Amino acid sequence: MNPEAKPTPDASIGELMSQLSSQLSRLVRDEMQLAQKEIERSAKRAGIGAGLFGVAGILGLAGFASLIAAGIAAVSLAVPVWAAALIVGAALLAAAGAAALLSKHQAEDVAPAAPFTVANIKKDVQTVKDARHDRS
């Protein structure tokens, strides 16, 4: 029977159910294809965005390296170049250390992941254990 067939006044219940079943499965199949196309389109855009973000990161790193070189050149006007590089390098390491300490403090303040879920799972496991022991 054709899934596009319209019900007729003299169609039997079996024919109507068959039409309903085929039309429903076609609807589900079409919706799944639509969802797949939407996901593919979104994934493609996300991939392009991630690639561009990577390029931005590389260019930003190159720009930062240029600024470091400019800082060394500026300090070298007052001291020898090796000392300027040492001063700028030490300042960058100090900034990195401060950022590491701040991130450590932030990480220590983070609550455990999903504490309510973990508590509920522990409670469920205990309930199952208790039920098993009650049967013995």
Average pLDDT value for residue range 50-57? 95
Any domain includes 122:
no
Confidence of residue 1 (pLDDT cuts 50, 70, 90): very low
Average pLDDT value for residue range 34-47? 89
Any domain includes 33:
yes
Any domain includes 21:
yes
Domain total of the chain: 1
Any domain includes 62:
yes
**pLDDT at 126 (0 to 100):** 87
| Structural domain containing residue 45 | 17-112
**pLDDT at 116 (0 to 100):** 78
**pLDDT at 129 (0 to 100):** 83
**pLDDT at 41 (0 to 100):** 87
Q: Which residue has the tokens 């879920």?
A: 117
Question: Which residues contact residue 83 at a Cβ distance below 8 angstroms, ignoring those fewer than 6 apart?
Answer: 75, 76
**pLDDT at 79 (0 to 100):** 97
- Report the C-alpha gap between 18 and 11 in whole angstroms: 11
Any domain includes 11:
no
- Report the C-alpha gap between 73 and 92 in whole angstroms: 15
Any domain includes 102:
yes
Higher-pLDDT residue of 130, 95: 95
Any domain includes 4:
no
- Report the C-alpha gap between 72 and 54 in whole angstroms: 27
**Residue 32 buriedness (CB in 10 A; 0-12 / 13-18 / 19+):** exposed
**pLDDT at 10 (0 to 100):** 78
Res. 8: pLDDT tops 80: no
**pLDDT at 2 (0 to 100):** 54
pLDDT digits (tens, 9 = 90+) for 79-117: 999 999 999 999 999 999 999 999 998 888 877 777 777
Any domain includes 130:
no
The model's pTM is: 0.52
